[in-house]
């Protein structure tokens, strides 16, 4: 076993919950429920000297009292009692601990001292520690959920190929909820918080080899080990797309990140250069991170920066052209030959070019025809679909799905508007087409794909 190996965290045969409680709403109770609800297949051992049983399960006075082996311990106890509990855990030869409790480095000197001692314990005994101040692991494949956010408030996403690594718990929880709402498929979401031991580098090494993960999103406030990180990221990015956000880009953000996980965030430019070196796609801001989740869940890369824009509303098409240029995409005209073909097959009032404007007289077939004829000269297409035009029908969705499959290049839908459009956006999503509700989001997503040309 590699000293950096953390795979047991994702396949534990047994989990002890230290500080388990029967009180509904308590952090440890939420975690026990999360594990049950996702269908964790291993053994769960509640540990708390105050109780003999919890929710019908035997409750242990201490970890030492558990007869069977324990792979992972989840600590939901006050920061001041964590070091004491770790002694028992080490004696029991538990492989890893997830410390969800807060009250460490982020609150000041006393907490920082406890963290130093935790680091020492990990180094000396080999026990791996995730946290403190973290949500831990949501694993949709091996069915582990240590997130203490209520399922009623933060929905769990369906199974898929996206894995998120996040230093920030609020970011991890919020993205989880957004991905659920968007219907995107998730393999794992991992939040390591104050990161006394396990961090993004160990996780990237593990995820690089994880077959269920097809694309990786990374939220960073700081880095654990710069050199090792770049190596691990490079290896991972060679196998699957990796995109990352560095929060604390400006002075204000830096100070916010510091107070929050106690991390000293370095100069932003260094991160930006490191991402480039490692082949990581850099995203700026929460919205772009979410765009990247959406588009990279459907397509791996655009292979280039040439974007074809098709619209049924001239003004909205012009907005996309602006946004595409803003994000560094190339909005070039089709060749004379393609233009002539399009003109011969479209009514005379359509504007052939880039964008090609099919106008309010658009039919379902017009979109498909332009896409198939022109796409040979482009890397990615953005289709603005405004549903006002009366001849457009819901059949367009299936037709675009088939055409997208046939041309083997990424097709992005942009469909702003109210209720009618939003319903159809759900249908686009279900058909596996990435759909965005503003020109800027669609252009930004296309730019992510263009940057992802590995």
- The H or E element that residue 14 is part of is strand 14-18
Nearer to a second copy, 90 or 392 (CB): 392
By CB under 8 A, the residues from 103 to 122 that bind a second copy are: 103, 106-108
Q: Build a one-symbol-per-residue string for 44-83: x at contacts with a second copy by CB under 8 A, - elsewhere.
A: ----------------------------------------
Question: How many other CB atoms sit within 10 Å of the CB of residue 11?
Answer: 14
By CB under 8 A, the residues from 129 to 188 that bind a second copy are: 149-150, 152-155, 166-174, 177-178, 180-181
Task: Name the phi and psi angles at 146, rounded to 5.
Answer: -100, 10
| CB 210 within 8 Å of CB 236 | no
Task: Please select the residue that binds a second copy; options are 22, 313, 410, 434, rule is CB under 8 A.
Answer: 313
Please state, in angstroms and rounded to a whole number, the distance separating the CA atoms of residues 428 and 435: 7
When asked if residue 41 is in the footprint of a second copy (CB under 8 A), the reply is no
By CB under 8 A, the residues from 265 to 294 that bind a second copy are: 284-287, 290
By CB under 8 A, the residues from 392 to 451 that bind a second copy are: 416-422, 438-441
The SS3 of residue 223 is: coil
CB of 389 to a second copy, least distance (A): 9
- Segment contacting a second copy by CB under 8 A, of 4-12, 196-204, 230-238, 317-325: 317-325
When asked if residue 355 is in the footprint of a second copy (CB under 8 A), the reply is yes
CA 375 vs. chain centroid, Å, equals 30
- Segment contacting a second copy by CB under 8 A, of 57-65, 197-205, 311-319, 338-346: 311-319
By CB under 8 A, the residues from 179 to 238 that bind a second copy are: 180-181, 219, 221
Nearer to a second copy, 79 or 89 (CB): 79
When asked if residue 360 is in the footprint of a second copy (CB under 8 A), the reply is yes
Q: In angstroms, how far is the first alpha carbon of the chain from the final one? A: 31
**Residues ≥6 apart with Cβ < 8 Å to 419:** none
Strand 281-282, strand 242-246: pairing: parallel
Task: Please select the residue that binds a second copy; options are 69, 81, 325, 365, rule is CB under 8 A.
Answer: 325
Question: How many other CB atoms sit within 10 Å of the CB of residue 65?
Answer: 14
CB of 263 to a second copy, least distance (A): 10
CB of 221 to a second copy, least distance (A): 7
By CB under 8 A, the residues from 15 to 34 that bind a second copy are: 25
CB of 382 to a second copy, least distance (A): 12
SS3 per residue for 359-403: CCCCCHHHHHHHHHHHHHHCCEEEEECCCCCCCCCCHHHHHHHHH
When asked if residue 353 is in the footprint of a second copy (CB under 8 A), the reply is yes
> In 154-250, which ranges are continuous DSSP H helix?
169-182, 200-209, 226-239
When asked if residue 297 is in the footprint of a second copy (CB under 8 A), the reply is no
Residue 186: name the closest of 149, 208, 155, 209 by CA: 155
- Segment contacting a second copy by CB under 8 A, of 12-20, 325-333, 367-375, 446-454: 325-333
CA 242 vs. chain centroid, Å, equals 10
Sign of CA dihedral 343, 344, 345, 349: positive
Burial class for 232, CB neighbours closer than 10 Å (0-12, 13-18, 19+): buried
- Segment contacting a second copy by CB under 8 A, of 114-122, 308-316, 336-344, 402-410: 308-316
Please state, in angstroms and rounded to a whole number, the distance separating the CA atoms of residues 288 and 219: 12
| CB 454 within 8 Å of CB 241 | yes
Task: Please select the residue that binds a second copy; options are 351, 399, 427, 431, rule is CB under 8 A.
Answer: 351
Total site size for a second copy, rule CB under 8 A? 87
Please state, in angstroms and rounded to a whole number, the distance separating the CA atoms of residues 415 and 383: 8
CB of 179 to a second copy, least distance (A): 8
Nearer to a second copy, 53 or 259 (CB): 259
């Amino acid at each position: 076993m590699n000293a950096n190996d953390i795979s047991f965290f994702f396949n534990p045969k047994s989990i002890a919950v230290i500080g388990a409680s029967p009180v509904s709403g308590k952090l440890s109770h939420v975690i026990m429920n999360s594990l049950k609800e996702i269908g964790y297949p291993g053994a769960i051992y509640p540990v708390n000297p105050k109780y003999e049983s919890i929710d019908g399960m035997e409750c242990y006075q201490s970890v030492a009292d558990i007869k069977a082996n324990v792979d992972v311990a989840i600590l939901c106890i006050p920061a001041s009692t964590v070091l004491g509990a770790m002694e028992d855990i080490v004696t029991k030869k538990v492989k890893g601990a997830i410390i969800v409790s807060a009250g460490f480095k982020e609150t000041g000197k006393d907490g920082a001292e406890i963290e130093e001692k935790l680091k020492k314990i990990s180094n000396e005994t080999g026990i791996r520690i995730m946290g403190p101040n973290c949500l831990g692991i949501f694993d949709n494949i091996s069915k582990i959920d240590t997130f203490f956010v209520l399922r009623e408030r933060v929905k769990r996403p369906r199974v898929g190929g996206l894995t998120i690594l996040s230093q920030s718990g609020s970011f991890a929880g919020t993205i989880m909820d957004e991905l659920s709402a968007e219907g995107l498929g998730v393999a794992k979401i991992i939040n390591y918080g104050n990161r006394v031991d396990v961090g993004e580098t160990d996780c990237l090494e593990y995820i690089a080899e994880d077959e269920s993960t097809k694309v990786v999103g990374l939220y960073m406030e700081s880095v654990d080990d710069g050199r090792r990180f770049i190596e691990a990221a490079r290896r991972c990015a060679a196998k699957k797309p990796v995109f990352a956000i560095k929060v604390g880009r400006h002075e204000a953000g830096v100070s916010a990140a510091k107070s929050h996980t106690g991390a000293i965030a370095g100069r932003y430019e260094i991160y930006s250069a490191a991402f480039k070196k490692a082949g990581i796609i850099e995203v700026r801001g929460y919205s772009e991170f979410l765009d990247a989740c959406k588009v990279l869940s459907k397509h791996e890369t655009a292979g280039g920066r040439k974007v074809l824009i098709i619209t049924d509303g001239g003004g909205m098409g012009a907005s996309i052209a602006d946004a595409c240029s803003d994000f560094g995409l190339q909005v070039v005209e089709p060749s004379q030959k393609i233009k002539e073909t399009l003109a011969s097959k479209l009514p005379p009032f359509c504007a052939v070019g880039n964008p090609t404007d099919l106008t309010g007289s658009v039919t379902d077939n017009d979109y498909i025809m332009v896409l198939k004829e022109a796409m040979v000269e482009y890397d990615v297409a953005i289709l603005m679909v405004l549903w006002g035009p009366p001849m457009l029908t819901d059949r367009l969705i299936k037709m675009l799905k088939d055409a997208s499959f046939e041309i083997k290049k990424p097709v992005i839908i942009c469909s702003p508007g109210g209720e009618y459009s939003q319903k159809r956006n759900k249908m686009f999503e279900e058909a596996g087409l990435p759909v965005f509700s503003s020109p800027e989001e669609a252009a930004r997503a296309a730019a992510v794909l263009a940057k992802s040309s590995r």
